[in-house]
């Protein structure tokens, strides 16, 4: 089974979020990048489990610049066989998805996995776009994934519940919690990652469809109003009269 | 014309009313396209929220996004849509990106407000730690609206319903089983949420969380470690790596308020924090705080809510 796992870099979850250039750019000063947790913990680890059980190959792909090679090596250290970097800044979800689609076309991947969203732009867009561009079925936000022959079975979230579904390979699946457990790379993996193939590919000529014009920060909260733990009627009255939420 | 996609398989959800209201407020007439076989009289009530016509393809059950994308694309062509609106729920997240590629139209994913004067639309970025303003560079714009971002509004009006054969083909996804807990409120749509963390000590103590939620008519949620250890199901996990929510009221008991937890909940209108530790970081993000033991405070809170509800009647 040949599996393509799309990975993105994302700022470490403890990063201070700030913007520069008149609030038009994310301030990368002092920001540590990690592999986007959904891509790493669920998509990549589940791909590796499937490969370990059934054989095959796990390729990771990202659209980015040389600055992203560190997160690519991290994903290789966890166990991916080889990596592809489309050499262009990731300007929007459409651009990223179409670049990956261009690469994946005709390469015979049985499964294309992504995380359910990135923790920076949170769009949940790339997988669906990729599926449309490659004319493949798409199972969004899957919490379980199994493959038997050419049948892919998933559990996916639906509004207000869960559903077990099946689809024939090849397909695109976005992966969420429940599918696998995080793996910590060991020394051997880290050493091996240094020599695994990283194939840098020139981007296709494509335009983004969207741009972020500016950014802003949420208004600071005014300080907390403390309530006596023995007077919950007061809290309920405040929630009704002052906050007007009940 | 503005086009709204709604799934009417289980009747008209609040998210459906929000998206129709949003499309109306964008200006221009509103057409709605839907799959599934909801009754025409029910669909016609969308007129009150601003829809002038509903196109219904009852032959599509809504399980396969590749069918739904064909449905919405066919409706967009028919009405000449310049804005296409989805809810940013599980269906919208699956279908809107496909549509963006199919129509080569820019997508604003997870809008939290109407567009600004300069045409950009506000979305959450960095898991709710900041906002971004997205501009679409194409003539047709697709927007998926985060649930609970605007209130449904009745402006009055009438609406016709038309059968619509979108020629969307057959479904590639076969459904083996569906599990929907009876009466449970879907967390992303809930207006009131009661959430608890490791401070609750064990899954056997969640009764008091559920009691408060039941008294309020709230959904339940939890912090990540609570879902990781299996005290609560994964779909209740809120935060940066869980569900991001923006209810009117978020009550957090026994949750420290780590930055990754706050990221998923700081869009809440009002936050109440219950924690034994007066120094817990969550108090900095709270509107109302109770320094106290959740084991005592939650049952008292439930009783106070019940007294209030009884007095209202
Ligand atoms: C990459 C990454 C992603 C993450 N994503 C998420 C995420 O999406 N969501 C998330 O929640 N976390 C996330 N975390 C974990 C996060 O950092 C915290 O560890 C977690 O939120 C803590 O959960 P907690 O508040 O339930 O537990 P704790 O931090 O253990 O806090 C328990 C709290 O309960 C209080 N308490 C104890 N007893 C009582 C009592 N009887 N009554 C009242 N209060 C009491 C304590 O004072 C304490 O404040 C992430 C971490 C990382 C590294």
The C-alpha atoms of residue B111 and residue B293 are separated, in whole angstroms, by 38
The C-alpha atoms of residue A164 and residue B226 are separated, in whole angstroms, by 24
Q: What are phi and psi of B234, to 5 degrees?
A: -55, -35
> Please, which residues have CB within 8 angstroms of residue B204's CB and are 6 or more apart in sequence?
none
Q: Which of A180, A201, A153, A150 is nearest to A79 (CA)?
A: A180
Angstroms from B282 CA to nearest CA on chain A: 10
Kindly report, residue by residue over B166-207, the tens digit of the pLDDT.
999 999 999 999 998 777 788 988 999 999 999 999 999 999
ipTM of the complex: 0.96
Which fold would CATH assign to domain B187-312?
Rossmann fold (3.40.50)
Give the pLDDT score at B10: 85
**Total tally of structural domains belonging to chain A:** 1
Note whether B13 contacts A159, CB cutoff 8 Å.
yes
> Please, which residues have CB within 8 angstroms of residue B77's CB and are 6 or more apart in sequence?
none
Report the CATH number that the domain containing residue A82 is assigned in CATH: 3.40.50.620
Q: Which of B126, B208, B212, B224 to mutate to test the pocket of ligand 1 (most atoms within 8 A of CB)?
A: B224
Q: Which of B260, B279, B300 to mutate to test the pocket of ligand 1 (most atoms within 8 A of CB)?
A: B260
Q: Is B61 helix (H, G, I), strand (E, B) or coil?
A: coil
Say if residues B143 and B36 touch (Cβ distance below 8 Å): no
Q: Does residue A221 lie in a domain region?
A: no
Residue A123: pLDDT band by 50, 70, 90 thresholds? very high
Q: Is B21 helix (H, G, I), strand (E, B) or coil?
A: helix
Domain that holds residue A199: 2-211
Distance B199 CA to ligand 1 centre (A): 8
Q: Does residue A224 lie in a domain region?
A: no
Kindly report, residue by residue over B245-302, the tens digit of the pLDDT.
999 999 999 999 999 999 999 999 999 999 999 999 999 999 999 999 999 999 999 9
Q: How many CB atoms lie within 10 A of CB B263?
A: 25
Query: Which residues are paired to B251 by β-bridges?
Result: B194, B272
Q: Which of B82, B84, B149 is nearest to B110 (CA)?
A: B149
Nearest CA, atom 41, ligand 1:
B293
Say if residues A120 and B125 touch (Cβ distance below 8 Å): yes
Give me the residues of A, 138-197, that contact B with CB < 8 A. 138-141, 143, 153, 156-168, 176-178
Mutate to test the interface with B, among A134, A214, A221 (most CBs of B within 10 A): A214
Q: Does residue A156 lie in a domain region?
A: yes
Average pLDDT, chain A: 96
Q: Is B277 in the pocket of ligand 1 (CB under 6 A)?
A: yes
A131: left (phi over 0), alpha (psi -120 to 50) or beta: alpha
Query: Which residues are paired to B55 by β-bridges?
Result: B33, B162
> Please, which residues have CB within 8 angstroms of residue A195's CB and are 6 or more apart in sequence?
none
- One DSSP character per residue, B257-296 reads --HHHHHHHTT-SEEEEEES-TT-GGGGG-SEEEES-HHH
Q: Is B199 in the pocket of ligand 1 (CB under 6 A)?
A: yes
Q: Is A23 helix (H, G, I), strand (E, B) or coil?
A: coil
> Could you tell me the two tokens for A137?
């079925």
The C-alpha atoms of residue A160 and residue B221 are separated, in whole angstroms, by 13
> Please, which residues have CB within 8 angstroms of residue A33's CB and are 6 or more apart in sequence?
A9, A10, A11, A12, A67, A68, A70, A71
Kindly report, residue by residue over A204-214, the tens digit of the pLDDT.
999 999 999 99
Mutate to test the interface with A, among B287, B297, B300, B306 (most CBs of A within 10 A): B287
Q: Is B110 helix (H, G, I), strand (E, B) or coil?
A: strand
CA dihedral A37, A40, A41, A46 (to 10 degrees): 150
Domain with CATH 3.40.50.620 in chain B: 2-163
Question: Has residue A106 got a pLDDT over 90?
Answer: yes
State pTM to two decimals: 0.94
Domain B2-163 has CATH 3.40.50.720: no
């Amino acid at each position: 089974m040949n599996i393509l796992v799309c990975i993105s870099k994302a700022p470490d979850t403890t990063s201070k979020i700030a913007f520069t250039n008149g609030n038009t750019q994310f301030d990368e000063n002092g920001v540590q990048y990690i592999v986007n947790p959904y891509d790493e913990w669920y998509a990549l680890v589940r791909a590796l489990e499937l490969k370990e059980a059934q054989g095959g190959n796990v390729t990771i792909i990202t659209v980015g610049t040389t600055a992203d090679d560190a997160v690519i090596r991290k994903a290789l250290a966890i166990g991916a066989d080889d990596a592809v970097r489309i050499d262009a800044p990731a300007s929007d979800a459409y651009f990223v998805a179409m670049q990956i689609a261009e690469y994946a076309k005709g390469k015979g991947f049985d499964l294309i996995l992504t995380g359910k969203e990135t923790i920076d732009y949170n769009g949940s867009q790339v997988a669906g776009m990729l599926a449309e561009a490659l004319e493949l079925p798409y199972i969004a936000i899957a919490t379980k994934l199994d493959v038997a022959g050419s049948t892919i079975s998933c559990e996916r979230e639906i509004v207000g519940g869960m559903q077990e579904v099946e689809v024939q390979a090849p397909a695109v699946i976005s992966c969420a919690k429940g599918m696998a457990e995080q793996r910590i790379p060991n020394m051997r993996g880290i050493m091996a990652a240094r020599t695994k193939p990283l194939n840098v590919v020139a981007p296709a000529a494509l335009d983004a469809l969207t741009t972020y014009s500016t950014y802003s920060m949420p208004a600071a909260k005014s300080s907390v109003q403390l309530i006596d733990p023995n007077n919950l009627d007061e809290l309920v009255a405040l929630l009704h009269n002052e906050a007007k939420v009940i | 014309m503005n086009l709204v996609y709604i799934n009417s398989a289980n009747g008209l959800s609040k998210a459906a009313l929000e998206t129709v209201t949003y499309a109306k407020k964008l200006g221009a007439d509103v057409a709605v396209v839907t799959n599934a076989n909801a009754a025409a009289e029910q669909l016609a009530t969308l007129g009150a929220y601003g829809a002038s016509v509903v196109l219904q393809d009852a032959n599509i059950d809504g399980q396969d996004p590749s069918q739904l994308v064909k449905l919405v694309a066919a409706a967009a062509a028919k009405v000449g849509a310049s804005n296409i609106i989805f809810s940013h729920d599980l269906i919208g997240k699956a279908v809107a990106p496909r549509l963006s590629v199919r129509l080569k139209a820019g997508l604003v994913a997870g809008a939290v407000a109407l567009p600004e004067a300069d045409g950009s639309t506000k979305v959450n970025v960095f898991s709710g730690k900041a906002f971004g303003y997205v501009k679409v560079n194409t003539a047709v714009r697709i927007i998926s609206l985060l649930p609970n971002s605007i209130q449904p509004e009745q402006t009055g009006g009438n609406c016709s319903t038309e059968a619509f054969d979108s020629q969307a083909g057959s479904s590639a996804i076969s459904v083996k089983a569906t599990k929907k807990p009876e009466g449970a409120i879907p967390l992303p749509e809930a207006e009131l949420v009661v959430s608890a963390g490791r401070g609750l000590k064990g899954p056997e103590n969640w009764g008091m969380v559920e009691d408060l939620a039941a008294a309020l008519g709230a959904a339940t949620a939890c912090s990540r470690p609570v879902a990781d250890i299996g005290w609560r199901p994964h779909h209740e996990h809120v935060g940066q790596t869980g569900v991001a929510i923006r209810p009117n009221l978020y009550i957090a008991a026994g949750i420290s308020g780590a930055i990754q937890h706050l990221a998923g909940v700081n869009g809440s209108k009002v936050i109440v924090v219950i924690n034994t530790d007066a120094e817990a970081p969550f108090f900095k993000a709270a509107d109302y705080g109770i320094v106290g033991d959740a084991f005592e405070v939650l049952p008292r809170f439930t009783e106070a809510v019940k007294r209030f509800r009884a007095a209202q009647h």
